[in-house]
């Protein structure tokens, strides 16, 4: 590996974000406010249970209250909406996170959009997406926010660069594309119907992999000197990028694990503290 390669260490970025939150949580506590994140898990998906537990543990370490609501697999859309509305009305809850995916019988979009935008710390509502598109969202989706935080931490230039985003999900590919566009990148969004995908990816100064397929992005797709952000996480602790191969081409690259993932959780914690801060006006 050449000495000019930069490994974009997400654990380092996340730790700095969390360190800055410690004093804010203490200050809020002195004013009688404990930031509270309510997480809703529907069903018994093992991966979702793990993610919810990780988020709860991260909250506990910072002194953030974590309220977990676990609903049965057969929960209906209306049952779920009722629970979310109760959390919306609870002044001690500052952030609401609905762990996805939800069981097939639930209208996920209806459930997401029930979350009050001032408590949408995971950036999943339609209104939150629209605010992000216009560049003034208080709580953009956490993984896109994490990607931008990593780029900023390592002072990666964005303005004027060509960013290629592989994936168009409403909580990752689309919002990160808009955030990059709002920072004056030229953005190309690729997806399952994109033709000559490898040729388009090779044009990217910044490549964001958000496709959900292990080691999908190959080394010969990456132009020399590109910045590669791997937002994927697949079984076997591998991302959406062929890390070892792309490392040879890239100027900077995120590893998996210890790349985007830790920063995503840190941004969720930050958004929850921000939401609690806004209670004070």
Domains 32-118 and 141-261 agree in fold: yes
CATH number attached to the domain at 32-118: 3.40.50.10860
User: How distant, in Å, are the alpha carbons of 105, 225, 226, 247 from that of 1?
Assistant: 49, 13, 15, 8
Q: Which of 9, 119, 120, 122 is catalytic?
A: 122
Q: Is 122 a catalytic residue?
A: yes
How many C-beta neighbours within 10 Å does residue 151 have? Answer: 25
pLDDT digits (tens, 9 = 90+) for 184-207: 999 999 999 999 999 999 999 999
Q: Is 2 a catalytic residue?
A: no
Query: pTM for the whole thing?
Result: 0.95
Question: Cα separation of 260 and 144, whole Å?
Answer: 9
- Closest by CA position to 217, among listed 147, 164, 171, 148: 164
pLDDT digits (tens, 9 = 90+) for 222-241: 999 999 999 999 999 999 99
Superfamily of segment(s) 141-261: NAD(P)-binding Rossmann-like Domain (3.40.50.720)
Q: What's the pLDDT at 70?
A: 97
Residue spans per domain, the chain: 32-118, 141-261
Looking at residues 4-11, what average pLDDT do you find? 95
Q: Which of 18, 99, 174, 215 is catalytic?
A: 99
Question: Cα separation of 54 and 138, whole Å?
Answer: 23
Q: What's the pLDDT at 2?
A: 43
Q: Is 18 a catalytic residue?
A: no
Q: Which of 18, 55, 119, 174 is catalytic?
A: 55
CA-angle at 91, arms to 88 and 93, nearest 5°: 70
Quote the mean pLDDT of the chain: 96
Confidence class for position 105, pLDDT limits 50, 70, 90: very high
């Amino acid at each position: 590996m050449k000495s000019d390669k930069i490994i974009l260490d997400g654990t380092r970025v996340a730790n700095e974000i969390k360190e800055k939150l410690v004093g804010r949580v203490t200050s809020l506590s002195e004013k009688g406010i404990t930031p509270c994140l309510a997480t809703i898990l529907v069903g018994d998906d093992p991966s979702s249970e793990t993610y919810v537990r990780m988020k709860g543990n991260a909250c506990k370490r910072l002194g953030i209250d974590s309220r977990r609501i676990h609903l049965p697999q057969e929960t209906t859309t209306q049952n779920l909406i009722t629970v979310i509305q109760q959390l919306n009305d609870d002044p001690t809850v500052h952030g609401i996170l609905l762990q996805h995916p939800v069981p097939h019988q639930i209208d996920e979009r209806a459930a997401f959009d029930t979350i009050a935008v001032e408590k949408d710390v995971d950036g999943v509502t339609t209104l939150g997406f629209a605010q992000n598109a216009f560049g003034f969202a208080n709580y953009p989706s956490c993984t896109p926010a994490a990607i931008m935080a990593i780029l900023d931490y390592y002072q990666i230039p964005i303005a004027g660069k060509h960013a290629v985003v592989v994936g168009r999900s409403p909580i990752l590919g689309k919002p990160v594309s808009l955030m990059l566009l709002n920072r004056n990148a030229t953005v190309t969004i690729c997806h399952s119907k994109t033709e000559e995908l490898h040729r388009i990816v090779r044009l990217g100064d910044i490549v964001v992999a958000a496709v959900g397929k292990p080691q999908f992005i190959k080394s010969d797709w990456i132009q020399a000197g590109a910045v590669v952000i791997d937002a994927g996480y697949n079984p076997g602790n591998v991302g959406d990028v062929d890390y070892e191969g792309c490392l040879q081409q890239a100027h900077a690259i995120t590893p998996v694990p210890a790349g985007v993932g830790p920063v995503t959780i840190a941004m969720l914690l930050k958004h929850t503290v921000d939401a609690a801060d806004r209670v004070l006006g």
